[in-house]
């Protein structure tokens, strides 16, 4: 297939790289607004050619939209306006807004709403890696509205990446990712800001930070250009989970204030139940 990747960052670049290596994409075209990223993607061999959007749509069999979710809401209708029988899928971290944006589009069936549940804290074409998706979940949303051939094609692409498929509607997806993904990023951003505010000695942070701190603040390196639109689109769900998280933090704070170490132990013990789910 000829694959066009619109947005050559971590996800778009990694998918292009992996699908090329597996022989599923015989030709990969790129669309990229940042000229530096476009040049880097060519240099790294992620794509064979950089094209304007309309030319890439016309030349491709399959199109991946891997742009920030605020751009996706306006980009997807434009792409669907031009497609004929091409298959279009996305990789956005929120779904309800983009699904609403194309709900009445006459070529809605050519679009498959997808979210590969993988990423790193790095961005740009240089962040692309091969086989990063292996063993991860790919969420397919509102699959019943997509044309059967388009759905089968996108399912096959994600299986070729080594992913297992999960199906849900867009609204449920956005609730779940608020709890599983979005709150983790907010917590990491907040912790990094707390440490940077209170610990003025950068050398001390570097020397004393162990694996626990490093893994907790890893996500704080993530690109704000990607995450501000995600938080904006999923605002209500993120606020719900943030309120619950703050409530949990207050319990720990109260235990220390009141020297209630028995209850503190109970709270930690309750948290240990996550072992049953994540090993």
Q: In this predicted structure, what is the pLDDT of residue 167?
A: 98
CA dihedral 44, 49, 52, 54 (to 10 degrees): -130
Last residue of a domain, one of 149, 168, 187: 168
Residue by residue, DSSP assigns 79-141 as HHHH-SS-EEEE--S--HHHHHHTTT-TTGGGEEEEEE----S--SGGG--TTTTTT-EEEEE
150 and 16 share one domain: yes
CA–CA distance, 166 with 114 (Å, rounded to integer): 10
Q: In this predicted structure, what is the pLDDT of residue 20?
A: 95
188 and 163 share one domain: no
DSSP element (H, E) containing 5: strand 2-6
21 and 94 share one domain: yes
- What is the tally of structural domains in the chain? 2
Q: In this predicted structure, what is the pLDDT of residue 211?
A: 66
Residue ranges in the chain assigned as alpha helix (H): 10-21, 35-44, 53-59, 69-82, 96-101, 148-160, 170-177, 183-198, 202-208, 211-217, 224-233, 235-257, 261-271
143 and 214 share one domain: no
Q: In this predicted structure, what is the pLDDT of residue 206?
A: 67
195 and 258 share one domain: yes
* Of the candidates 54, 50, 113, 102, the residue with the CA atom closest to the CA atom of residue 82: 54
159 and 242 share one domain: no
CA–CA distance, 262 with 196 (Å, rounded to integer): 32
Task: Check which CATH number belongs to the domain holding 53 and give it.
Answer: 3.40.50.720
CB 80 within 8 A of CB 105: yes
Q: In this predicted structure, what is the pLDDT of residue 197?
A: 80
Asked whether the CA dihedral 149, 106, 54, 225 is positive or negative, the reply is: negative
156 and 190 share one domain: no
* Of the candidates 115, 160, 170, the residue with the CA atom closest to the CA atom of residue 1: 160
26 and 46 share one domain: yes
The pair of structure tokens assigned to 264 is: 């503190």
Per-position pLDDT tens, the chain of length 279? 999 999 999 999 999 999 999 999 999 999 999 999 999 999 999 999 999 999 999 999 999 999 999 999 999 999 999 999 999 999 999 999 999 999 999 999 999 999 999 998 899 999 999 989 999 999 999 999 999 999 999 999 999 999 999 999 999 999 999 999 999 999 999 988 988 887 777 767 767 766 677 778 889 999 999 999 999 999 999 999 999 999 999 999 999 999 999 999 999 999 999 888 887
Last residue of a domain, one of 140, 168, 196: 168
163 and 207 share one domain: no
* Of the candidates 209, 211, 215, the residue with the CA atom closest to the CA atom of residue 196: 209
225 and 262 share one domain: yes
Residues contacting 162, CB < 8 A, separation 6+: 131, 133, 134, 135, 136
147 and 205 share one domain: no
225 and 138 share one domain: no
The pair of structure tokens assigned to 83 is: 């497609």
CB 262 within 8 A of CB 254: no
Task: Check which CATH number belongs to the domain holding 178 and give it.
Answer: 1.10.3660.10
CB 212 within 8 A of CB 115: no
Tell me the pTM.
0.90
For residue 137, the enclosing domain spans: 2-168
The pair of structure tokens assigned to 113 is: 């709403």
Last residue of a domain, one of 125, 150, 168: 168
């Amino acid at each position: 297939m000829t694959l066009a990747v619109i947005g050559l960052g971590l996800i778009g670049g990694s998918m292009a790289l992996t699908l090329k290596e597996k022989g599923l994409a015989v030709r990969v075209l790129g669309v990229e607004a940042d000229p530096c990223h476009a040049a880097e993607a060519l240099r790294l061999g992620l794509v064979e050619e950089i094209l304007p959007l309309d030319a890439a749509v016309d030349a491709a069999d399959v199109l991946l939209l891997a742009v920030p979710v605020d751009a996706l809401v306006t980009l997807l209708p434009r792409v669907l306006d031009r497609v004929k029988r091409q298959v279009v899928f996305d990789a956005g971290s929120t779904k309800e807004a983009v699904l609403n944006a194309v709900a009445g589009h006459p070529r809605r069936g050519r679009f498959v709403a997808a979210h590969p549940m993988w990423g790193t804290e790095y961005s740009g074409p240089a962040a692309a890696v091969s086989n990063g998706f292996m063993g991860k979940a790919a969420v397919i949303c509102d699959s019943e509205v997509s044309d059967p051939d388009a759905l089968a094609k996108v399912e096959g692409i994600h299986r070729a990446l080594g992913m297992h498929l999960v199906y849900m509607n867009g609204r449920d997806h956005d609730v779940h990712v608020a709890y599983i993904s979005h709150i983790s990023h907010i917590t990491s951003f907040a912790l990094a800001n707390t440490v940077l505010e209170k610990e003025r000695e950068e050398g001390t942070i570097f020397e004393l930070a162990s694996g626990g701190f490093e893994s907790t603040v890893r996500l704080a390196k993530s690109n704000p250009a990607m995450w501000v639109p995600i938080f904006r689109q999923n605002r209500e769900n993120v606020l719900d989970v943030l309120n619950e998280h703050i409530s949990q933090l207050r319990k720990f704070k109260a235990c220390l204030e009141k020297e209630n170490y028995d209850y503190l132990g109970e709270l930690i013990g309750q948290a240990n139940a996550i072992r049953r789910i994540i090993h």
